[in-house]
Amino acid sequence: MQSFKILSPFFNKHRRFASFTRSLCSLNSSSHYDNLILIEEKGSSRTVILNRPHVLNALTTPMGIFLHKLYKSWERDPTVDLVVIKGNGRAFCSGGDVVQLYQLINEGRVEECKECFRTFYSFMYLLGTYLKPHVAILDGITMGGGAGISVHGSYRVATDKTVFGVPEVLIGFHPDAGASYYLSRLPGYLGEYLALTGDTLTGEEMFACGLATHYSLSTKLPVIETQLSTSARKDFSVVETFLARYSHPRSPNSSSVLHRMEMLNKCFGHGTVEEIIAALEVEAARSKDKWFISTMKKLRAAPPLSLKVSLRSIREGRFQTLEQCLAREYQMTLQAITRQISNDFSEVRNKT
């Protein structure tokens, strides 16, 4: 097992990471986990189905523990060549179960809240270093932690039903789950824009900017999944070739933010939130363009501290590894859930 070196000091304050990992590997499958996560076995492929459709497949700690256990066991199992993950219903995954997290915080059960983040950040690191081909089928809503359990894997298939976003700043939080790693590597300053506004991308846009590796119509997925499971191979190049054969990307429509990259970079390339807002104000006054006006309004409506923290996080992530980004995000998350600096995370939720 690869060591999670940078995160270990933070985990050790509460629980030794080594023993935490051993406990994950020794857990037995139970009906409780199976109800939340379904498993399909076909030949040498394994398909994970997130199964909380009534809450858009929002993630809970037991789900994270079970995912970690499954993925570690499959990584060691020579009979497993390929892992696929998808969601049941109209969402792939809407992220962490924020309602449960708020309840834990408000009830003073902060250690349980910390365990939830430790669990999923550990899983995301495992996914980012996974030794076998991993295909995430993002056929629907994919937000926050949902991006974290997919984007870090080797392949991501977006569809015409995909809605991607990182809306954490809107609830007084920061884009986490490794978001500071993958957002900072998007073209230009698109990552900063997505992090600060909480704006969404379509499947076509995900593919165009590199967040998705492949694109398909939702109606084609049953064929892709069937063929993928019956021809599973450990060879990444074989999986890549197979997915490319079924990938039929479309160009983003004319209203896509990707067609505004020059102006987006001009505004979001500034060093501070205040300078970004000022640049948007200048362009809005000059052009009367509704995009500048709506973008400016989004930033003004968000908690100021969350904007500043999120901007700095993306900027630092540009020069860090996934491991370093997750470690730093974990520190930031601890400050948010323990209210060391601000109550925004709990207060924004209470107002909604």
Q: Give the total number of structural domains in the chain.
A: 1
Q: What are phi and psi of 227, to 5 degrees?
A: -65, -35
User: Is 148 part of a structural domain of the chain?
Assistant: yes
Which of 87, 96, 172, 178 is labelled catalytic? 96
Residue at 9 is within a domain:
no
Q: Which residue has the tokens 């690869």?
A: 2
What is the distance between the alpha carbons of residues 305 and 303, in angstroms, rounded to a whole number?
Answer: 6
Could you tell me the pTM of the whole model? 0.88
Q: What is the predicted pLDDT for the residue at 108?
A: 87
pLDDT, position 104:
86
Q: Is 36 helix (H, G, I), strand (E, B) or coil?
A: helix
Note whether residue 29 is domain-resident.
no
Least Cα distance to 212 among 160, 128, 138 occurs for 138
Quote the pLDDT of residue 221. 96
In CATH, what number is assigned to the domain containing residue 112?
3.90.226.10
Q: pLDDT under 70 in the chain at which residues?
A: 1-34, 232, 340-352
Measured between alpha carbons, how far is residue 146 from residues 59, 62, 65, 163, 260 in Å?
A: 8, 15, 15, 11, 26
Residue range 233-273, pLDDT digits in tens: 788 999 999 999 999 989 999 999 999 999 999 999 999 99
User: Is 1 inside any structural domain?
Assistant: no
Contacts with 129 (C-beta within 8 Å, 6 or more apart), sequence order: 2
Q: Which position among 115, 139, 168, 192 bears the catalytic label?
A: 168
Distance CA 14, CA 4 (A): 15
Residue 336 lies in a domain: yes
Active site includes 274? no
Q: Say whether 192 is catalytic.
A: no
Q: Is residue 174 part of a domain?
A: yes
Please name every residue paired with 191 in a beta bridge, in sequence order, or none if there are none: none
Classify residue 304: in a domain, yes or no. Answer: yes
What are the residues facing 141 on neighbouring strands? Answer: 91, 163
Distance from C-alpha of 238 to C-alpha of 252, rounded to nearest angstrom: 28
Q: 97 catalytic, yes or no?
A: no
Active-site residue, selected from the candidate residues 64, 140, 144, 145: 145
Catalytic-labelled residue, pool 97, 115, 139, 176 = 176
Measured between alpha carbons, how far is residue 249 from residues 217, 246, 316 in Å? 9, 10, 32
Please report the pLDDT score of residue 105 as a whole number.
85
Asked whether residue 4 is domain-assigned, the answer is no
User: Measured between alpha carbons, how far is 183 from 193 in angstroms, rounded to an integer?
Assistant: 9
- The verdict on whether 168 is a catalytic residue reads yes
Q: Structural domain of residue 322, as residue ranges?
A: 37-250+258-350
How far is the C-alpha of 111 from the C-alpha of 337, rounded, in Å?
10
Sign of CA dihedral 283, 284, 286, 290: positive
